A and B are shown apart, each in its own frame.
Chain A
């Protein structure tokens, strides 16, 4: 079982829909990141969370430390939101801290 699980793997939505991507992790973490990767490879950091909730424009990220779960919400989705969304956690393992990544959620927003 992967230490970071994302769901769904693929998501297709119509423009304007509310979207939720989920991330569950099984290790202790000091921070959780949501990343966006567009075709071509460039990665943009969307949020870094250690507790609570953050909002940036149409994007909202929440984290529940007790349940080891985070969600990324996109309100009023737009075709330009089409990308792969990746959840990553910074965890301490074997005396070494490192970022562990989920497999990503591929989002397609149709006009």
Chain B
């Protein structure tokens, strides 16, 4: 069974640009959640999608958005990038709502904003 796949693995963007990250969950998993990890703040919850619906959202500005497609693949978008958005972005998939069942994490996308 293929694991959680995140693309791209590395990305360099300029301040003010926008970026889209992709996450393909494990086959059969309907829940995808996104997290930001920085050295200062650690891991922080961004949002969670279940069956194409955003179920929960963390405390991030509206520049951070996401969506989930009918095949459960999810994308995360960050507009008007700031230097502070440089981070490792992780997604996790699970068969049930995030945190209620075992989560499987992707390798992450390391975003650098210059």
Contacts and interface: CB of A to CB of B under 8 A. Distances in A.
- A and B: partners? yes
Interface of A: 30-31, 33, 35, 40-45, 48, 86, 88-90, 96-104
Which secondary structure characterizes the binding site on chain A?
Answer: strand
Contacts of A42: 105, 107-108
A89 B100 CA distance: 10
Contacts of A89: 99
Contacts, number: 63
Contact of B56 (A48, A86, A96, A104): A96
B43 A48 contact: no
Interface of B: 33, 35, 37, 42-45, 48, 55-58, 88, 90, 92, 97-105, 107-108, 110
Given A31-B100, A43-B105, 16 more contacts: A33-B99, A33-B103, A40-B107, A41-B107, A45-B103, A48-B101, A48-B103, A90-B99, A97-B97, A99-B35, A99-B45, A99-B99, A100-B45, A102-B42, A103-B42, A104-B42
A35 B33 CA distance: 15
Nearest to A101: B43
A101 B33 CA distance: 14
A27 to B, nearest CB: 13
A89 B45 CA distance: 11
Contacts of B88: 41
A42 B109 CA distance: 10
Given A41-B90, A42-B108, A30 B45 contact: no
A99 B42 CA distance: 13
A90 B42 CA distance: 16
A52 to B, nearest CB: 16
Given A86-B43, A98-B58, A101-B43, A45 B104 contact: yes
Contacts of A102: 42
26 contacts: A30-B99, A30-B100, A31-B100, A40-B107, A41-B107, A41-B108, A41-B110, A42-B107, A44-B105, A45-B103, A45-B104, A45-B105, A48-B101, A48-B102, A86-B42, A90-B99, A90-B100, A97-B56, A97-B98, A99-B45, A99-B98, A100-B45, A101-B44, A102-B42, A103-B42, A104-B43
